[in-house]
Structure 1
Amino acid sequence: MARGGKNKDRESGPERKCIATGEVHPKTELIRFVVGPEGTLVPDLAEKLPGRGIWVTATRAALEMAMKKNHFLRAAKAQVSVSDTLVSDIEQQLARRVINLISLSRKSGIAISGYEKVKDALSKETAEVLLQAEDGSTRGKSKLSTPHFGHYIGWLKADELGMAFGRQTVIHAALGAGGLTQRVVDEAQRLKGFRVRVSDTKTAAGAAGKEIRAK
């Protein structure tokens, strides 16, 4: 589904309304918050904390709007303490979730890294997701293309991808079908909202050699 509209496809899963934009999105495209016992706003990325959920579209702009215009206070109908570092904190937490999921995928044999291995997987059409470090060489990244009907993730840094593979840095990686791959795509899409501006989308896609096929 494209951001900004309501997807009527039931397969997209449960939907919630963003308190900042007023738009309805699948839960996978939003971030849930709850108010803690001491009135502190707590991000619930795993959607497991008790309490009434407050939902915001997973973009930097939507979250900043919710903070600036006191949407959290109105949604909670009570005084709420919001951390000044909430945006950066959520970005870091989302990045960590993506890294951990890729790491688990590596341990299960679904994730691979290294230019030659990724190139081989792409040529054999066994790769469903192409991952490339945001700070990697544009020239090197342009030699690999997003899998047909697959996904591209290009907003993790080389050291973050490295953490997922137990190395110092990784520039090229890929995920096969099944396992945790869809979860990686969903979580990475939320992270994208905090790292990639709309105007940067074509630039990021160009680095991959094809237009990004967003989930």
Structure 2
Amino acid sequence: MKQRKIPLRKSVVSGEMHPKKELVRITRSKEGVVAIDPTGKMPGRGAYVALDPEEVQTAWDKRVLDRVLEVSLDDAFYEELLEYVRHQKARRELFGNGK
């Protein structure tokens, strides 16, 4: 059986390549609205961050997403992102790497 190719993406915080399923996509629409994109299919400019709370905290401290997406994000967005990543990491630990 033929091995399927696993899509890789680069985390904007660490610069490391990871499988797409191990990252979360943050998008900026044409209107400048920034949102977490759990499906990875929303239109707009995208940036990937690893599903690791420490990496999200680093992005928050250094304001990496502000620079990459060329917007000014408030602390509430970073808090929401951190909570989302913690939740996803807990789900992976409970249910495995499935969904």
Q: Same fold (TM over 0.5)?
A: yes
SS in 2 for 1:50: coil
Match of 1:185 in 2: 97
- Greater strand share, structure number: 2
Distance 2:48 2:38 in 1: 11
Match of 1:88 in 2: 83
Structure 1 unpaired stretches of 5+? 1-9, 99-152, 157-183, 188-215
Q: CA contact under 8 A between 2:30 and 2:44: conserved in structure 1?
A: no
SS in 2 for 1:85: helix
Structure 2 unpaired stretches of 5+? none
Match of 1:128 in 2: none
Q: How does 1:155-170 map to 2 (within 5 A)?
A: 155=94
Offset at 1:11? 3.7
Offset at 1:49? 0.7
TM-score normalised per structure 2: 0.73
Q: How does 1:1-215 map to 2 (within 5 A)?
A: 11=4, 13-36=6-29, 39-76=32-69, 78-82=70-74, 83-86=77-80, 87-92=82-87, 94=88, 154-155=93-94, 185-187=97-99
Q: CA contact under 8 A between 2:11 and 2:50: conserved in structure 1?
A: yes
SS in 2 for 1:72: helix
Offset at 1:66? 1.1
Offset at 1:35? 1.5
Aligned residues: 93
- Which of the two has higher C-alpha Rg? 1
Distance 1:25 1:84 in 2: 21
TM-score normalised per structure 1: 0.37
